Structure 1
């Protein structure tokens, strides 16, 4: 019983496996050092992504703290770092715009439940079956959307809300460009340049920290000279328990709230109508979270030589999202860049990832007033850097240049629909189109041909000559709904004088229900004229066909495994 439970809920497997090797002060020191560097990368990124989806920065920090502590302890990947990622911006921002923070919290918790179910039913290994052109298409599209959204604060355009579809957003930005603030643009440019180049001068400190710090200093100097600079402190505010308003980021640890137990309207029990509207966005969040987490874990495996447990990781990310939603956080998943940083700085166990989240909690409680001075233009510059790295523009261009036309069509379709409609439509259309193109490709491989009389050149029965009233119907390739037409396109050539038909399926590896029904129809049509039928092929394929036939037909059909056996059987009869 305990073994079954452990198999169904393989939580904490990465932590257990790493601790089996022993844990000493040197290991702790390595984990602490890696966690510290990752925390410096995660701090500005969590705030920037929260702002990008339309929420105050503390919601991204709460996500990085809660999910960042829990998921590594329960997950299946040793170096994996979990937190908010740029991939969610495109799907989360419309939820916030339409349903507000409450809708996002409900969708995040529902997504967490779905991720746990994904792990329980062992869907981990199937997530990676999403085609490469689809993943490249939608990630590149997300990068374009994020970069577009970041231009508002980067240029200091002062647009309150970028609403509407992508074209509407672009038009709003273009119309607002004449009123841009050069001070904001200067801060953004300085921050951007430093983020991209600091690794050559200060390699031990993450570029975002250096860039944002320099941007904050420049913003302070400009403010001292009378310029109005947008910062976290003058953009966002919060209320104390006594109703007093404060500006910036609240210096408090995340607090858990429970639907139905908390008396606030925000955490009233969700209605059926809310769940019905949010279940599809939740499914997209869960699918994207699973894909990104497992992709990050695969990258981590390649960098470390370790092996992750996909289903444990999915369940842990699910639990992390549920707790993140209860703590006013946004969706979380495995973060490739932060995971790579963790590895490059000597992570030994999953505790390093949890340490980074604990340090983030310390930053919030100790340095929240200082974070209020971070300029919005610097965070926008960070989003541009994220979009650049996320765009995979080299792979995008390379796919168009060298990939088959079908892959290029899928790539451009997924990219265009994700940018101009939304990610749900883009990914769905990309996957469906990939499936249709794959079916078309497989259908080309399925062929049929007929032979009768002398078959000396047939490789399976080159020593035999068939009587003139015997015909062989060869089928090569899988028989399923997409190949039925090609598999049976030569049945009209079966001549009237043929008394025995050998159906050769030695090269049929698979047959689905549609194929079975089509085969049954062919056999019954031929048998009505009192002709003999010999089925030739793999026993499991022949068995499926016979099961579909009436019992009295089964008794008069011969079944063999090779064409040689069929010809010998024919001569014996």
Structure 2
């Protein structure tokens, strides 16, 4: 796919640059505490979150398909990345991130951006809420200042650790966390233009440093000092064995990264009134996630909250995203040593608020209240995300959604026996015309309505064959309301045709639509049926079928199913 920058910067001038500068500065300040918090929660050093914000922020803005997208580490990735780090280690996380970038790149090149949109909403709400619960509960230990906890991949095991070590609660950590939390909520009301998370982080850090130094765990005491420069380019060692073992984590990262970035782009379109290019967005995400690991960065995607902040602060072009990354880079250069003094208890409320905001609690409650099959899919996906992992949750959610879809669609297929209605001026066929005294023994007409696919094909065949066990001479299938036929549906239709031909009967198709007709052509079933037995109008099909009748059997017949029957029954 050719990537062009024309249009995105058309008419760009100094005034627009000023707006991008202001927006980028604000978003950059917002991104700093989030980048470090997301990295820590993912089980890696905080500086890796800053590296990701810088590298991915620039590349996603330049190469992505959304004009205002802000890329970087996000909360949605936390449980996945933490599980990968726990199971495979940090170096292998970089490899998985690189592989995910390659997958996203090819998804964009092969224009698969729209495919991701087909994931059912209950599944996305379910796993998003599950991720939010995992993030929130994962910060309880830092909020309370608990010590000597062992980290586990399993949710229940982590909850058990908190219960066992609850006696090690540190009141200094609780006070620090509460100060940060209160300021996160108060600042937007008093100072709307200043990020609450940054104010809470700074005030709580200064408070802890002045009034009770060395009484709470800090970034420096836990992870070491944050270097004030970007790391040298380092390509993680790739091997066939590594790539084989990491393909599943890479697919999960790519899938979630694609979903989150496109969802963020849709939100941006809704706020700014723009239209994003979904395939280009995947290409941009792919490029960013391929370059990111070279600088030690963790997987990145589009950040909904930061993107919305970018637009609301007057961004005019992708330059605002580049400027936001440069702001983070400058802060890293000049203020990195001070960041080592940030208490972990100050980071916990920031992540808890992020989890609360991303939980989609209103949508979750709304779907549950419907008490439909989709509610069950939502709840199971949520439960599996919390108790097992995202891969299992999404797989089960998609399978359940597929089963429910097939069940619903099977109810929409209607197969009914019909006959012409003389009271209608066009003599359209109607179901109410068929009864015991008005039913042609030699011609059966069935109207088929709905998609003829694998979920209903067998039922369709059984319905036809069971109801015509008296072996009529001609079977007319009116397929004007069949929009789609898959290979299974074609196979069952073929079975009906073969059954009739075997008993000397004829199958006639009328009003068939373009896709089903094309399917019959590809499988050569139209040739087996006979081109002369396929009609555009059902009236012509009926007229033709009357020429196929056994005239002797018509003599004396009193059913009079067709207007010609009077003459056929009593030719004299």
TM-score (norm 1): 0.90
Q: Which runs of 5+ in 1 are unaligned?
A: 1-7, 238-247, 259-266
1:556 Cα offset (Å): 7.9
Instruction: Check the 8 A contact 1:152/1:159 in 2, yes or no.
Output: no
Moved more, 289-298 or 485-494: 485-494
Instruction: Check the 8 A contact 1:508/1:537 in 2, yes or no.
Output: no
Query: Distance in 2 between the 1:363 and 1:569 partners?
Result: 83
Aligned to 1:421: 388
SS in 1 for 2:12: coil
Query: Distance in 2 between the 1:279 and 1:431 partners?
Result: 20
Query: Distance in 2 between the 1:64 and 1:367 partners?
Result: 16
- Whose Rg is larger? 2
Instruction: Check the 8 A contact 2:149/2:165 in 1, yes or no.
Output: no
Question: Which of the numbers 210, 215, 218 marks the counterpart of 1:228?
Answer: 215
Instruction: Check the 8 A contact 1:222/1:229 in 2, yes or no.
Output: no
Instruction: Check the 8 A contact 2:149/2:161 in 1, yes or no.
Output: no
Query: Distance in 1 between the 2:505 and 2:419 partners?
Result: 15
Query: Distance in 1 between the 2:461 and 2:447 partners?
Result: 10
| 2:475 is the alignment partner of 1:501 | yes
Structure 1 residues 39 and 550, CA gap change in structure 2 (3 angstroms): closer
Aligned to 1:262: none
Query: Distance in 2 between the 1:41 and 1:131 partners?
Result: 32
SS in 2 for 1:128: helix
Instruction: Check the 8 A contact 2:494/2:525 in 1, yes or no.
Output: no
| 2:369 is the alignment partner of 1:401 | yes
Instruction: Check the 8 A contact 1:501/1:532 in 2, yes or no.
Output: yes
Query: Distance in 2 between the 1:415 and 1:273 partners?
Result: 32
Instruction: Check the 8 A contact 2:57/2:70 in 1, yes or no.
Output: yes
1:551 Cα offset (Å): 8.7
Ranges of 4+ aligned residues in structure 1 off by more than 4 Å: 452-459, 462-467, 549-552
Query: Distance in 1 between the 2:469 and 2:281 partners?
Result: 60
Aligned pairs (5 A) from 1:302-317: 302-317=270-285
1:9 Cα offset (Å): 3.2
Aligned to 1:110: 99
1:97 Cα offset (Å): 0.8
Aligned pairs (5 A) from 1:170-185: 170-185=159-174
Moved more, 81-90 or 392-401: 392-401
Aligned pairs (5 A) from 1:96-135: 96-135=85-124
1:547 Cα offset (Å): 5.3
1:552 Cα offset (Å): 7.6
Structure 1 residues 35 and 533, CA gap change in structure 2 (3 angstroms): same
Aligned to 1:525: 499
RMSD: 2.1
Moved more, 342-351 or 455-464: 455-464
Aligned to 2:408: 441
| 2:301 is the alignment partner of 1:356 | no
Query: Distance in 1 between the 2:18 and 2:419 partners?
Result: 78
SS in 2 for 1:488: helix
Instruction: Check the 8 A contact 1:252/1:364 in 2, yes or no.
Output: yes
Q: Which runs of 5+ in 2 are unaligned?
A: 549-572
Aligned to 2:179: 190
Aligned pairs (5 A) from 1:72-151: 72-151=61-140
What per-residue deviation string (whole Å, max 9, x for no partner) do you get for residues 473-514 of structure 1? 222111111011332232212043511111221211110001
Query: Distance in 2 between the 1:299 and 1:543 partners?
Result: 39
Structure 1 residues 26 and 506, CA gap change in structure 2 (3 angstroms): same
Question: Which of the numbers 447, 450, 453 marks the counterpart of 1:477?
Answer: 450
| 2:27 is the alignment partner of 1:38 | yes
Query: Distance in 1 between the 2:29 and 2:423 partners?
Result: 75
Query: Distance in 2 between the 1:451 and 1:28 partners?
Result: 70
What per-residue deviation string (whole Å, max 9, x for no partner) do you get for residues 425-451 of structure 1? 111111121111111111110121224
| 2:461 is the alignment partner of 1:488 | yes
Instruction: Check the 8 A contact 1:546/1:554 in 2, yes or no.
Output: no
Instruction: Check the 8 A contact 2:479/2:513 in 1, yes or no.
Output: no
1:375 Cα offset (Å): 0.9
Aligned to 2:233: 256
SS in 2 for 1:19: coil
SS in 2 for 1:103: helix
Aligned to 1:284: 252
SS in 1 for 2:7: helix
Aligned to 1:337: 305
Q: How many residues align?
A: 540
